[in-house]
Every structure is written in C-alpha cells, then in structure tokens.
Amino acid sequence: DADVTQTPRNRITKTGKRIMLECSQTKGHDRMYWYRQDPGLGLRLIYYSFDVKDINKGEISDGYSVSRQAQAKFSLSLESAIPNQTALYFCATSQGSSYNEQFFGPGTRLTVL
Amino acid sequence: AQSVTQLGSHVSVSEGALVLLRCNYSSSVPPYLFWYVQYPNQGLQLLLKYTSAATLVKGINGFEAEFKKSETSFHLTKPSAHMSDAAEYFCAVSADNFNKFYFGSGTKLNVKP
C-alpha cells in the first residue's frame, strides 16, 4: 500500500462548488503539506502543518483552507471553486528537520469548469 | 530569502548522451538541496539530496549532483541517458531556519532514440 494517499485522484466540478481533497499517510510523519502544480510554475505551497495544532499559510493560501484532523490526515478545501484553481494538487509529508526529504502522494487532478 | 532557478524548461538528449540539468539556488543560510523526479501521472520521487556532508551526492538510477557553494549551484548529471529517464525534474532548497521547501519551475527531459 502507498505511504501517502490522496482522494479523489481526479475531480471535475463547477464554479462556486465546495470541494474537499483528502490526504492520509501511514509514515508516522509529523509534518504535512499541500502544494499545487501548474505547468511552468513548479510546485507552490498552499498550506503546511507541523502537528495537529499547527497550521501555517504558504505562498498561495487565498481561496483555500485546511484541516488537520489527526496526525495522519490533512484535508484541503476550496470553499468556492473558481476556474483558475484548476491544477494538479499534491500532498506531502516529512519528519522533523528541514534536511529530511518530503514524500509525495500521487496527486489529485482538479478541473473547475 | 530562498529561491531556486532551473535553467531550461525543456532539455532534449539522445539515448546514451550525457544528461546535465541545471539548478542554481539563493539562500542566506547554509542550504539543504534536493532533486526530485516526476514521471507522467505520478507524484514526485526523491532522486538525491545534499545535507552538508559530501559535496558530490549520488542518487538513484545513476544520477549524481555536485554542490558548489562558490557558484551557488547543484546541477544534476547522468553519464548516459536512458529512454526511461524521460520525466520532469525539480530542484528544491530548504534550510534550518526555514520550515518549508522552495521548488524550481522544473525541467522536462526528453530522451531521443
């Protein structure tokens, strides 16, 4: 089984709808992250969490919110989806220090019509 | 502040030729540096990382990278390209007093028969 899982893998929705993307991990890591990937822009950080009670905004948090329900679960919500939120979304986890690598989920492809 | 620049959004090489993917970083403190690979429709996978030990770092699939502080570079190389190396490659930087990664915009590697 994959260490970092994301659901759904693909989602098509309409402008104005509320969407939740879920991430679960079995690695026992304390840190979790949400990124979006757009062609030519690399990965941009939306939110990150170092433990259940710690939530931090990344560089592009507007229009998004998150919930860390447990150490192993980190959800990303789009309260009112808009077309420019169409992107590939990745969840990642890491343990402890900044020199430790991040482990990525398989991604969720979201299309907002 | 930290940032990463990857020169060349697309690189094309022939099978068996040298692969060189460029990464330059900017960091006000000693950096940790990472190379990730993304195959089509997959998440990111760690190739190698530099965390202030040996400056020449060997990774998976025959890739290696050399940390050059004077040039603020961490270029990725492989002596002989395989068709299976075709993917997108991302360089990332982190540091002790920064709790997140900064990713470059990515380089797509095409390998010609």
Q: Is the CB of A4 less than 8 angstroms away from the CB of B43? A: yes
pLDDT tens column, A47-96: 999 989 999 999 899 999 999 999 999 999 999 999 999 999 999 999 87
Measured between beta carbons, the chain B residues lying within 8 angstroms of A42 are 90, 103-106
Q: Does A10 touch chain B (CB under 8 A)?
A: no
Q: Digits of tens for pLDDT over chain B (113 positions)?
A: 788 999 999 999 999 999 999 999 998 788 899 999 999 888 999 999 998 778 999 999 999 999 999 999 999 999 999 999 999 999 999 877 666 889 999 999 999 99
* C-alpha span between B58 and B66 (Å, rounded): 9
Q: Does B62 touch chain A (CB under 8 A)?
A: no
User: Collapsing DSSP states into helix, strand and coil, what is residue B60?
Assistant: helix
Q: Does B42 touch chain A (CB under 8 A)?
A: yes
Measured between beta carbons, the chain A residues lying within 8 angstroms of B46 are 101, 103
